[in-house]
Structure 1
C-alpha cells in the first residue's frame, strides 16, 4: 500500500470517474486504474463498484476513504514540518471565499500577498458556505474565508474582522431617518440575495418578522448586490449591504446608505480551516496580510454579531 495509491483512490471517490481522476492526478487513466486494482488485490476487497454510473464506493470502500484521508493528511503534515523548519512558504494553496466577500476583500489583499509570498500558488475558488464546509472536511480546499460563527465540529475559525450591515434606503423609504434600527425594517420592502447566500440569512435574522405579505406585487431574489441596488434606485424596495461593499459605490448611490444605530448588526468574517491544520504556515501568512490591510479600512467596536445560519 502506498500514499500514491491512496491519493488515486481519493481522486476517484471525489470525481466518480477514473478518467477525470487521472487527469487531476496528472497520470494516465491505465496507470491510475492499475494502481487502484493492485491496492484492491492486496486488501482483497472492492473499493469501487464499477458497474454503477457514476462510479460508487462500496460499503468497505467508504470506510477505506475515511481512513485514507487521515493517512494522506498525516503524510502531508510531514511536508509541512519540513517546510516550516526551512522557513519555506510556497506550494499550491486552495482558498475558498463566499461570493459576498470576494469582490471587496480580494482586491484589498491579493496583490500584497502574492508580492510578499511569490512561491505560493494561490488557487481561489468561490463557493457558498455549505460547499465550503463540505470541501474543507473532504480536503478539497485548504482554507476559506466566510461569515462565522459556523459552530462546525472539526473546523477552526480565526476572526479577521467584523463588518457591519448598512441600509441601502432610497429617500422614498427613509422617513427622514439618518440611522436605522432592526425594528425599522419591513421584510416586505427588502430585496434579498437568492437562497444559498449566508448574507441573505443574516438579513432575515436581523428582521423582526420573516413573514411576507401574500398581496405583495412581486418577489425577487438576486445573486448580486448590483442588481438589488438598481432595483432599489427604481423605487422597488430597499436592501442591506456589507459595509465594505458600500465604500465602492458612486457618490449618488452613497447618498442612499443609512447606518444602523449602535450596536450595529454585523457579520463576523473569519479564516476557517480543518482541524488537521495542514499548511498552517500559509494560513498564518494569509491571516497576517489580510488583518494588516483590513485594519485600516474597518475599525468598528460596538457591534452585534448576526449568525450566518438562518434561525428556525
Structure 2
C-alpha cells in the first residue's frame, strides 16, 4: 500500500470516473487503474463497483476512502512540519473567495502579499460559500475568505474585519430625506437583492427580519453584481444595500445616494477560514497578517452589529 495508491483512490471516489480521475491526477488512465486494482488485490476487497455508471463505492470501499483521506492529510503534514522548521513560506496555495468579497478585497492585498512572499504560488478561485465549504473538506482549497459565522465542525474561522452595510437610496425614494437608516426603515420588498445563493442576500433578508417566503418580487433578478443593483435603483425600482468596501470607488454622484446606519451599524463578519487539519498553516497565517494589516486602514468602524449570513 502506498500514499500514491490512496491518492488515486480518493480521485476516483471524487470524480466517479477512472479517466477523469487520471486526468486530474496527471497520470494515464491505465496507470491509475492498475494501481487501484493492485490495492484492491492487496486488501482482498473491492473498493469500486465498476459495473455501474457512474462508478459507485462499495460499503467497505467507503470506509477505505474515509481512512485514506486521514492518511493522505497526515502524510502532507510531514512536509508542513519540515517547512515550518526551516521557516519556509512557499509552494502552491489555493485560496477561495466568495463573489461579493473578491472584487473589492483582492486588489487591496494581492500585490503586497506576492511581493512579500514571492515563493508562494497563490491560486485564487471565486466560488460560492457552499462550494468553498465542500472544497475545503475535500482538500481542493487550502483556505478561503467568506462571510461568517458558518458554524461548521471541521472549519476554523479567523475574523479579518467587520464590514458595515450601507444603504443606496436614489432620489425620490421614500427614504430619500432620512439622514441615518435603521433596520426598521427597511421593507424587504423594497430592497433590490442579489440572486439567490449569495450569503450577502441572506444577510440582508435577516437584517430586514424577514424570510425568503416574505419576498413578493415583481421580477426575478439573476445577477451577482452590485453595479446592476445600483443601476436598477437609479431607475426607480427600489433601494439596495451595499458592503462598505463596495462604496469606496463610487463616483461623487452615486455617493450622494449613500446612507449610513445609526450605530451600531449592521455589518457582516468576514473571516479567513480553513480546515482544522491546519495544513500549510504557515502560509495561512502569513495571508491573514497581510490582509488584516491592509484592511485596518480601510475600515474604521468600531461600533457594529453583526448580521449572520445564516438563515434564521
Could you tell me the TM-score, scaled by structure 1's length?
0.96
Equivalent residues in 2 for 1:234-273 (5 A)? 234-273=235-274
> 2:169–2:176: 8 Å Cα contact kept in structure 1?
no
Count of aligned pairs between the two proteins? 310
C-alpha separation between the residues in 2 aligned to 1:218 and 1:20? 40
Alignment match, 2:152: 152
The structure-2 alpha-carbon separation of the partners of 1:184 and 1:6, relative to structure 1 and needing over 3 Å to count, comes to same
SS at match of 1:160: strand
For structure 1, list consecutive stretches of 5 or more residues without a partner in the other structure. Answer: none
CA 192–75 in structure 1, closer or farther in 2 if over 3 Å, else same: same
8 Å contact from structure 1 (residues 192, 221) kept in 2? no
Shift of 1:221: 4.6
Report the alpha carbon displacement of residue 293 of structure 1 after superposing the two structures with TM. Answer: 0.8
Deviation at 1:218, TM superposition (A): 3.4
- Tell whether the 8 Å contact from 1:185 to 1:208 is kept in structure 2 after alignment: no
In the other structure, the counterpart of 1:121 is 121
The CA distance in 2 between the partners of 1:175 and 1:125, in whole Å, is 38
Question: Aligned residue for 1:226?
Answer: 227
Provide the rounded CA distance (Å) in 1 between the counterparts of 2:161 and 2:279.
23
Query: CA separation in 1, counterparts of 2:237 and 2:131?
Result: 32
Q: Which residue of 2 aligns with 1:68?
A: 68
1:186-224 per-residue CA deviation (whole Å, 9 max, x = no partner) reads: 11111111111100000000003346475x643435221
Q: Deviations over 1:98-120 (max 9, x none)?
A: 11000000111111111111111
- 2:29 maps to which residue? 29
Q: Could you tell me whether the CA contact under 8 Å between 1:95 and 1:143 is conserved in 2?
A: yes
Following TM superposition, by how much is the alpha carbon of 1:245 offset from its aligned partner in structure 2, in angstroms?
0.6
What's the offset of the Cα at 1:15?
A: 1.6
Whole-Å Cα distance in 1 between the matches of residues 201 and 3 of structure 2?
A: 42
| SS of equivalent to 2:172 | helix
From the superposition, tell whether residues 26 and 218 of structure 1 become closer, same or farther in structure 2 (CA, over 3 Å): closer
Correspondence for 2:100: 100
TM-score for both structures, normalised by structure 2: 0.96
Mean CA deviation greater in 149-158 or 44-53: 44-53
